[in-house]
Chain A
């Protein structure tokens, strides 16, 4: 009896393993089933699973989309003095890496610390814009946690919750929200006046539903004040954690929202690009993770009224949870998101 050949592929933590085509197919089926059960979304179709099997059942080092079906590649974190100065790094991203859009940011990468140095950041944005052609956005995280003690002024809800002080934890988050909104609007307006093409609210909802509420309120106000500014709202996880549990935006309870519902609120607030996230399970294969990712995000892309740039990077979007993700895993995940989901960008 002839045994199936084994194909090199990746685990979610980046380990190179060898699996048979049947094993990869089984993981694809298990991945989409896991998404259906958790996110209450339809499974991938047989054709879609077969296409994923063709992508993940190939031993090729690299794979790519068909000619003519390329998408926009946006880059968060592309200017952070990795090689030279921030502005030179951005020129390198444009001229050497061929980045379609680039992003200036401070290494602290949260709006609250940027507020204190915004004149310097705005000057850097001004100078960068003189040197590049590609659209430039300024990126930072809403990071509501920075407004709780000991980093901020309000009591720490993460300490209050384990003590059973639910009302106090909720009140603390509610107190932090307007502070975060004010800081985000202040920074974004400064970037608009400096000439930025867009802003990127990156890793939104990292501190839960109140964090997401603050972000949506900030987006709404930035849209009002800066009508031509691009606004990307990128998420931190696949569903919104209910650290508060009751906060709403536009009458919608935010805790527990999945990408399609997140996208609708982002668009309603005034975002021009939405970045859904699906977290990687490091102990499952890349095939399992991509099937789960595509299943969860598919309704979001299908219902979208604004461009969808799915997060495909370290630990998200079926890319391995490792510092330097291997190109075989990155290219497979990228191609799968374009082919199956029809995303507008990565």
Chain B
């Protein structure tokens, strides 16, 4: 999450995409080049803009930024692929409504 490894890894893990294809896919969705995906300075900014979750160990306070499951909703939208835990979250939330 310092860069985009989790996003590329997600496409490998859940879609079986090989690395060049996964990098190209993620880069296109984020509007950057594949080489940009491993630049931690640039990706930190892009992740913040898109709310994709970040490394926040040196930012003590970021109460208005999405984290964890909140960020995964944005990752799902950015990558255009369903994320199992996000879909389950929605199912459980809706099934609990009175």
Is B19 on the interface with A (CB-CB < 8 A)? yes
Bound Cα distance A229, B82 (Å): 11
Is B85 on the interface with A (CB-CB < 8 A)? yes
Size band of the A side of the interface? 35 or more
Bound Cα distance A243, B49 (Å): 55
Closest chain B CB from A276 CB (angstroms): 15
Is A14 on the interface with B (CB-CB < 8 A)? no
Is B55 on the interface with A (CB-CB < 8 A)? yes
Bound Cα distance A229, B8 (Å): 16
Contact A272 B13, CB 8 Å, known A100-B5, A344-B19: yes
| Chain A stretch 254-308: residues in CB contact (< 8 A) with chain B | 271-273, 304-307
**Chain A residue with Cβ nearest B40:** A98
Query: Contacts of B72 on A, CB cut-off 8 Å?
Result: 133
Closest chain A CB from B7 CB (angstroms): 9
Bound Cα distance A71, B34 (Å): 12
Q: Judging by beta carbons under 8 Å apart, are A195 and B89 in contact?
A: yes
Q: Judging by beta carbons under 8 Å apart, are A306 and B16 in contact?
A: yes
**Chain B residue with Cβ nearest A96:** B57
Closest chain B CB from A240 CB (angstroms): 22
Q: What residues make up the interface of B, taking CB atoms closer than 8 Å to A? A: 1-3, 5-6, 8-10, 12-19, 22, 34-35, 38, 52-53, 55-57, 67-69, 71-72, 75, 82-85, 87-89
| Chain A stretch 182-219: residues in CB contact (< 8 A) with chain B | 192-198
* A to B CB contacts below 8 Å, 21 in the list: A70-B3, A70-B5, A72-B9, A96-B57, A101-B10, A126-B88, A130-B85, A133-B53, A133-B67, A133-B68, A137-B13, A195-B85, A197-B84, A198-B14, A228-B82, A232-B13, A272-B13, A273-B13, A307-B12, A307-B17, A344-B12
Query: Contacts of B38 on A, CB cut-off 8 Å?
Result: 67-68, 70
Query: Contacts of B12 on A, CB cut-off 8 Å?
Result: 72, 272-273, 307, 344-345
Is A29 on the interface with B (CB-CB < 8 A)? no
Closest chain B CB from A170 CB (angstroms): 34
Closest chain B CB from A330 CB (angstroms): 17
Bound Cα distance A29, B6 (Å): 37
Contact A132 B84, CB 8 Å, known A197-B10, A229-B14, A345-B19: no
Bound Cα distance A304, B12 (Å): 13
Q: Judging by beta carbons under 8 Å apart, are B5 and A133 in contact?
A: no
